[in-house]
Structure 1
């Protein structure tokens, strides 16, 4: 077994190091991380809007807590309730909440262009701020500026459907702008007496002009040619790439493969979610955003997989119940508080799980089993989709409940935990036969 592990290590460690250390992928990960506050705040107001304030929703409606009737004394199914001042007030506040939700989700791709281009400007040696502004200009140029006969932007071109468009535009415009900026022949030099801010603006004037003009020509060409009936870059990319990826990623086979890769890398001591960040950001994050905005109902999303991070908690409970190894029990006691918030590193490296052949099978099998059971539960309608974005550190039960907007989500996490305990238990019992090195 040690020979097999060594062979895998020789092959996988350098590969994983190259992937996780790739500056472009790191910039992409950082860009999504920069937007997490907007997503979480938008999700919070979304929960308030759709769960707490909806006059016919989970809290106010007859199918939920029915507080609407308790507050007004009216039947929530009647016209009197519909036309009441209470409902009107709830809808006004819902509208205010929706403005914040729009910032977190409706213009997510617009914000992503700025964040990603800023990070690319940093790693590629350009002016990050000027690069981000140029990328935003390029993104606006390729975005249709009309809704029907009215001159206005369609927010659907700024939301979850434009994630790949945002990544591509930010990448191409950044590469073009930074390369042009490094060409001294295109740099307009101002006298030393000119303020630095003005001098820097003139220095990037020609690179900005050439970059934006190039995107203008491309956008005009695309609108005239109408490839596959698409007049906009986003429509073409969504039809050719993102929509097929989203559909393909919703298959149980692809999802199991994704989970297997993530946790296999973790077993090697490599941050599996960093290695697979490109898949997560291009596929499962847009699926989460689509669920949140109500544009779609994807089973497999970022929230679905983050709700299953707690499978290592099943290992700790199995250790408390069945382990006779003092070292394991000691590490489990120390790591338990952190694991309540889905932080597994103290256990992964302290037990250790990393490169431990005894725990390889359950460590990968548990999240795969969770994925299958979660898929069956959501497909059967027993559990709602994971609609709302919650921090991945949210404790067990609360994360599933808030993420789905239903107690069924929290119960699903408890079912997962019971399964995980059963999966880890035989291997923990087998570990009792292996004496601790300290005892020897």
Structure 2
């Protein structure tokens, strides 16, 4: 009964807040934009597992330091194996898989600009398609070109690294463009005999000119005053003050708190905080892999802790009397095996659900603290190797640390998470019972 009272208190405070958030059209547009590009990310992750884990000639399944299946299939070892036609075929298949991975992640920010600008154009009363195209154009203008014999754009600015820049550019370009399209003084009116598509093109001509011209001037000013491009500038501003705190427990807990609070509001927390991940924890991960450092908190450490929602799934199976929750858990569990939580986040729902707010944030914080204790004490090696974020539990920790202890740490995390979620799942049953009695 005490827990039910606590949950009820949370409801009184958080339901009004959730209502305001759910009615904020800008945040809803951001959430829907991430949902729009989610299928590309899932498909990219699937092909990433195939590329990095299954068919990599030196990887987990085929490689000599893994299961060694490649050598068993060919009967070759050492240099003979690496020079074989079998390995050449695997590398060709890897290249094909990498094309799909690039679509899923390499141009993630470019897709996000298009989706977010499209949504913003709709909520602000502009032409959605024209707003999306203008957002893409503005993003390309502020994205520095790679100077070499061929030229072109670097995909480094189109992946996760460009998420914050994408959100910023989409917001500004969409707002300016829609405002200009509503200004009748600069709108070019065509005769009624002109086809509607042509008339619409001329109607947005001047707004497109002014919007893209403004971004071009902004990019030129950055160049003239020897200021880094927008994306690099964002990283410089963020990275400088954070690098000194990244290995501290307080900062790591705050980082996890922000991620999962965003997720609770229905916004992709990992994409929103990608700038921190890619400027702080990914360099730490690469330093661990190169052997030049031994950071506890790295990209691999946090990715290995994404499975806390599986603790909710198990708690639902064990303790929930709500048929709707059990049905969603059955459908979401297979996806959750590969760290895809959206069916559960929006199906139970977790998003904007005051009953689940506390465990949803508490579980990853507890995992972070226990993981820090385990690694700092030497019981578990550091997370040295880069592993796809869709790698299932236990295998992710084992491969990431190069030790079975990493996998066992994940099992401990899962057991903790079940215990953390269980009281709140039981409380949800009691709340329903009390409502039915009334």
TM-score interval (norm. to shorter): 0.7 to 0.9
Structure number with bigger Rg: 1
Counting only pairs closer than 5 Å after superposition, residues 19-98 of structure 1 correspond to structure 2 as 19-75=21-77, 77-78=78-79, 80-98=80-98
CA RMSD in angstroms, aligned pairs only: 4.3
Question: CA-to-partner distance for each residue in 1:259-295, whole Å, 9 max, x for gaps?
Answer: 66888x8xxxxxx72427374431159848996xx97
Task: Rate the CA distance shift 1:378–1:98 in 2: closer, same or farther, 3 A.
Answer: farther
Counting only pairs closer than 5 Å after superposition, residues 398-413 of structure 1 correspond to structure 2 as 398=392, 401=395, 411-413=408-410
Q: Is the 8 A contact 1:313 1:336 kept in 2?
A: yes
From 241, 266, 273, the counterpart of 2:263: 273
Counting only pairs closer than 5 Å after superposition, residues 10-409 of structure 1 correspond to structure 2 as 10-75=12-77, 77-78=78-79, 80-148=80-148, 150-227=150-227, 230=228, 232-241=229-238, 252-257=249-254, 273-275=263-265, 277=267, 279-284=269-274, 287=277, 298-299=299-300, 301=302, 303-304=303-304, 306-313=306-313, 315-316=315-316, 319=319, 337=330, 340=333, 343=344, 365-375=362-372, 380-381=380-381, 387-390=387-390, 398=392, 401=395
Q: Is the 8 A contact 1:113 1:139 kept in 2?
A: yes
1:95 shift after superposition = 1.1
Q: Distance in 1 between matches of 2:118 and 2:205?
A: 18
1:399 shift after superposition = 5.0
Q: What SS is found at the alignment partner of 2:388?
A: coil
1:255 shift after superposition = 4.6
Task: Rate the CA distance shift 1:235–1:347 in 2: closer, same or farther, 3 A.
Answer: closer
From 414, 417, 420, the counterpart of 1:417: 414
Question: CA-to-partner distance for each residue in 1:353-407, whole Å, 9 max, x for gaps?
Answer: 966xxx99877654432332345567743666784243xxxxxx94554698679
Q: Which runs of 5+ in 2 are unaligned?
A: 288-297, 337-343
1:219 shift after superposition = 0.6
Q: Distance in 2 between matches of 1:86 and 1:417?
A: 39
Task: Rate the CA distance shift 1:404–1:102 in 2: closer, same or farther, 3 A.
Answer: farther
1:67 shift after superposition = 1.2
Which has the larger displacement, 212-221 or 145-154?
Answer: 145-154
Q: Distance in 1 between matches of 2:347 and 2:222?
A: 53
Task: Rate the CA distance shift 1:176–1:61 in 2: closer, same or farther, 3 A.
Answer: same
Q: Distance in 1 between matches of 2:236 and 2:275?
A: 18
Q: What SS is found at the alignment partner of 2:414?
A: helix
Question: CA-to-partner distance for each residue in 1:93-128, whole Å, 9 max, x for gaps?
Answer: 111111111111111111111111111111111111
Q: Distance in 1 between matches of 2:185 and 2:6?
A: 57
Task: Rate the CA distance shift 1:59–1:195 in 2: closer, same or farther, 3 A.
Answer: same
Q: Distance in 2 between matches of 1:429 and 1:164?
A: 39
Q: Distance in 1 between matches of 2:325 and 2:8?
A: 27
TM-score (norm 2): 0.75
Q: Is the 8 A contact 1:318 1:428 kept in 2?
A: no
1:337 shift after superposition = 3.8
Q: Distance in 2 between matches of 1:74 and 1:153?
A: 41
Q: Which runs of 5+ in 1 are unaligned?
A: 266-271, 320-326, 391-396
TM-score (norm 1): 0.75
Map of 1:393 onto structure 2: none
1:18 shift after superposition = 2.1
